[in-house]
Structure 1
Amino acid sequence: MELRHFRYFLAVAQEGNVTRAAEKLGIGQPPLSQQILALEREMGVQLFRRTGHGVTLTESGQALFADAKRLLDDADNAVLNAQRAGRGETGHIHLGFTASSAFNPAVPALIRAFRNAYPGVGLSLVEGNTAQLLNFLEEGRLDLAFLRPGLHAFNGISLYRISDERMKIVLPLKHALAKRKSVALSALANESFVLIPRAASPTLHDEIVSACRAAGFEPKLGQQAPQLSSVVSLVSAEFGISIVPASVSQIRAEGVVYVDISGASVRTRLALAARENDDSAKTANFFNMAKQMRVERSDTSIEENEDKTPE
């Protein structure tokens, strides 16, 4: 017994006439009659009562009608669901992000656009530092992650550059440099820096330290903060100064100012990461949308990607 037998049965039942059902199905009337007889023999019941004008359903046929229709609807839905999954229109994405990446306008814009374009795909968000997110990707606990890889490449991981974002200096409001529009990094040589611990955010930490070294000094590491919002709060409390991605200036804490860095282009790289062997259509859709989107913000610079990305 095959699904086509139920399609034949339903066509005859709905038309009430074998000839008309055959025309609807695009087959000959004799083969259709033979298929109906074969179905009745296999089931061991009479499904149709033959009349001079066509056929009507017997009690057995009436009992089969609703179940056969539901069975065929389920089969059609199964095919449709498989096709939608193959196009990446259903399923679930586990998406990681670093605390600093969440402030970049490209990230919420991309998530919002993806949800609007693929409402059938669920999204779960997981926050972590770059090292944690890379481990989660390798373990299969995440499908994608927004992270700050610096200039590093990682085995088995594909990276797509979302933006190269300017960095800013965050100062206490009463600091001697707070009224300047821009400050050279070398002017911070004697300052105490409030930074996220390297273990929590190795890339961002190293980028800040490297920028200071390029300006000719080793930063004095003072109070540590678990995340960027805490960095800003501690600067407000005058524990020191810091350097943060420009998008963090959205945190409008009292008692701080954000100042441009003069004399040097200090940037931090934001990328979208996935496993190289991930052949999921929904992941590919997210990557493709990231490629298509160009978020224009005064505090970010979106550049063309030159990294290896999944097909």
Structure 2
Amino acid sequence: MQLELRHLRCILAVARHLHFARAAEELGIAPPSLTKQIRDAEQLLKFRLFHRTRRSVSLTSAGEAYLPGAAAVLAQLDAARENGLLAERGQLGRIRIGYVASAVYAGVMRKTLMRFRELHARIEVTLNEVPMEEIPAAIADRQLDVAYIRPPMAFPEGLQATGVHRDEFVVAVPADSPLAALDAIAPPQLRHARFAVPEQDFGTLEVARRGRFPAPAGKRPGPLIAVMASVSLDGTVAVVPGSVCACITLPGVVYRPLTGKPIASEIALLHRRHENSRAVRAFLQYARGEKTG
């Protein structure tokens, strides 16, 4: 026989009450059964835990030395069980979130993360900006759990994109350009412009298609802030999400809407189609409920 949890619970109950009948009542067992559990525990430990007389119960010196460690073990086991239950309910765990920089500007990401953290304080959320082309592999390989992206994007069959925000593309142009004098810019008017192309080139390609000119082979500076710096410093134009207008103000850059049917600019959450983590599933469920646009 080995010392078991039932023995520890009996020892601690008797130590709390220093009375076998009251300890037995707390545990929901008969006093003779409790007496046997204590006797078995003492036999296994090879020392007496309690001095017992007909009128009193007290801890032995060995019992006093043993009790703190036994209580700590039981508390750790109870805490571990509680953590397991919280994780099972999606209230405890870790979520690794990636994002492309442009997803931050729309506000939906900030709103969702702040409120989710308030509601799920015991879920650890880590954030990492990741180049867009690296995101699908990072999620498939479980380096990330979810990521805020700008569709369209190619990704493996095991992943899924869920839209959480929608606005429309606009054009960023140099303030001293003739284009800046227009209230709105028609795609054909950008035929001879030099483009700085963002990581997500969908808007740029659609403008070229509507304007009936070849897809721009312009510079690709990388993150959206670098694209905007190119407009400010190098005299290029850029097709960017409308949410950027309120977030990035650079000297010499103005924004103009596009004429015609709006070109949708979206933010989506990319995630595994069949997710096992309850914490991640809780985040996805919450993020879907918080989507805007």
The answer to whether TM tops 0.5 is yes
> Is 1:233 aligned with 2:235?
no
Q: Would you say the 8 A contact 1:150–1:207 is kept in 2?
A: no
Equivalent residue of 1:100, what SS?
helix
Q: What aligned pairs does 1:176-255 form with structure 2 within 5 A after superposition?
A: 176-196=178-198, 201=199, 204-249=200-245, 250-255=247-252
Q: Would you say the 8 A contact 1:170–1:259 is kept in 2?
A: yes
Q: CA deviation at 1:151?
A: 6.8
Q: TM-score, normalised by structure 2?
A: 0.92
**Structure 1 segments unaligned to the other structure (5+ residues):** 296-300, 302-311
Q: Which amino acid aligns with 1:18?
A: F
Counterparts of 1:258 and 1:137, CA distance in 2? 34
> Is 1:276 aligned with 2:273?
yes
Counterpart position of 1:49: 51
> Is 1:19 aligned with 2:21?
yes
| RMSD, matched Cα | 1.9
For residue 142 of structure 2, the aligned residue among 131, 140, 143 is 140
273-282 or 80-89, larger mean C-alpha shift? 80-89
Counterparts of 1:44 and 1:158, CA distance in 2? 60
Q: Would you say the 8 A contact 1:171–1:240 is kept in 2?
A: yes
Relative to structure 1, the CA distance from residue 151 to residue 226 in structure 2 (aligned partners, 3 Å threshold; closer, same or farther) is closer
**Structure 2 segments unaligned to the other structure (5+ residues):** none
Q: CA deviation at 1:84?
A: 2.0
The superposition leaves residues 238-294 of structure 1 with CA deviations (integer Å, 9 ceiling, x where unpaired) of 522111011122110011111111112111221101122331011111101111214
Q: Would you say the 8 A contact 2:7–2:38 is kept in 1?
A: yes
Counterparts of 2:230 and 2:15, CA distance in 1? 77
Counterparts of 1:43 and 1:222, CA distance in 2? 79
Counterparts of 1:131 and 1:235, CA distance in 2? 23
Larger proportion of helix? 2
Relative to structure 1, the CA distance from residue 161 to residue 220 in structure 2 (aligned partners, 3 Å threshold; closer, same or farther) is closer
Identity of aligned residues (%): 28
Q: Which amino acid aligns with 1:269?
A: E
Equivalent residue of 2:94, what SS?
strand
Relative to structure 1, the CA distance from residue 106 to residue 236 in structure 2 (aligned partners, 3 Å threshold; closer, same or farther) is same
